[in-house]
Amino acid sequence: MLICIRVGGVEHCYFIPIVLWPVTPVKPGPGPVNYPQLFQDGVLVASFQAALSNVADEGVRSALQSGVAAAMKALQSRAGEHVTVRPAQN
C-alpha cells in the first residue's frame, strides 16, 4: 500500500509494509480434507482479529471488525458443520 500526501503542490508517498504471519501452524490430527487451507486461513483471520485493538481510528476499526466477523462466518461455512470456528478467549 502507498499513502500519498500532497503538501504545497508536492506529493509525498510512503510505502506501507506488509506484515506477514507464519501460516504453517501445527495441526492436531488429520487435516480437513474438504478444506486443506482451513488452518492457514484461520491463522490469518485470527491475526487480523488480534490486531483490531491496535487500529486507532474508530471507523477503520469498525470496518475491519465487520470484515473479520464475515471472514469467521465464511470459515465456519466452508469448513462444514463438523468443525467449530470461534474466537479464542484471552
Residue 14 in domain: no
Whole-number Å distance between alpha carbons of 35 and 30 = 12
pTM above 0.85, yes or no: no
pLDDT tens, residue by residue, 49-90: 988 999 999 999 999 999 999 999 999 999 888 888 888 765
Number of domains in the chain: 1
The predicted pLDDT at position 28 comes to 59
Residue 4 in domain: no
66 residue type, one letter: S
Residue 65 in domain: yes
The secondary element (H helix, E strand) that includes residue 7 is: strand 2-7
Residue 81 in domain: yes
User: Residue 14: pLDDT band by 50, 70, 90 thresholds?
Assistant: confident
58 residue type, one letter: E
Question: Residue 19 in contact with residue 26, Cβ under 8 Å?
Answer: no
The alpha carbons of the chain give a radius of gyration, in whole angstroms, of: 17
Residue 5 in domain: no
Residue-range definition of the domain harbouring residue 53:
20-90
Whole-number Å distance between alpha carbons of 24 and 42 = 11
pLDDT tens, residue by residue, 27-57: 556 666 667 788 888 888 888 898 899 999 9
35 vs 26, residue with greater confidence: 35
Residue 49 in domain: yes
